Amino acid sequence: MKTLTTIGIGALALGTLAFAQMTMNGQTGMGQNQTMMAQGNMGGMNHSMMGGGMMGGMSGMSQMMGGMNAGNIDRNFLTMMIPHHQSAIDMSQLVLKTTKDPQVKTWATNIIRDQQREITQMQGLLKGYGGPVQGMSGQMNQMMGDMTGPINKAANKDVAFVQGMLPHHGMAIMMADHLLMQSKNPVMQKLGRDIITAQAGEMYEFQQYLNKTK
């Protein structure tokens, strides 16, 4: 039952992620997103998807995670999740400079606190695996692109922050799903569960916020 629940959360995240990406890009059709999903593998990824093509990055990340076995899943997850967390911190620090919205301020403050704490934990865990996998952090950053750019350009930076954080959290949940399905390490299993629980809850709150701003 726990595995089914985890897979269900991941499927929900995928649907939310697709919707959020269409909203951010002003797309109304599914064709482009389906093409990006089909093309977004690491071996032959269209480089135009990187640096803002979150759906392509998400699919490429899924290919990377899906190809990992229980022997390397923990190290690879930690290597990828550290820069992923850092991008959320960067987005949160940026929006805190301008926001007047108490809810956005609370989210951003909590994201900085919680994800910095997890980065410190993950850096410690990585030492036991011989450090990060060479080159993988850079691949992760390429797939995510500059997620602070849309916030900088937006007239309503609060909404842009929330819209950008939805697919960002969706990607983290997908990564944690793969971890829970394959990791044999109880510490890593708990880390994956905690990420899913916290970020799925925030995704729900983000959607309720966006419902009110329509």
DSSP 130-169: TSSPTTHHHHHHHHH--TTHHHHH-SSHHHHHHHHHHHHH
Arithmetic mean of pLDDT over the chain: 76
Question: What gap in Å lies between CA 98 and CA 144, rounded to an integer?
Answer: 23
Q: Give the pLDDT confidence of 121-141 residue by residue, as tens digits.
A: 999 999 999 999 888 777 777
pTM of the model: 0.71
Question: What gap in Å lies between CA 75 and CA 54, rounded to an integer?
Answer: 23
Torsion of CA 76, 171, 191, 75, to 10 degrees: 0
Confidence band for 58, pLDDT divided at 50, 70 and 90: low
**Winning range, highest mean pLDDT, from 9-23, 119-133, 142-156:** 119-133
Q: Give the pLDDT confidence of 168-201 residue by residue, as tens digits.
A: 999 999 999 999 999 999 999 999 999 999 999 9
Residues 88 and 108: beta-carbon distance below 8 Å: no
For the chain, percent of residues with pLDDT exceeding 70: 67
Question: What gap in Å lies between CA 94 and CA 60, rounded to an integer?
Answer: 27
**29 compared with 80, residue with greater pLDDT:** 80
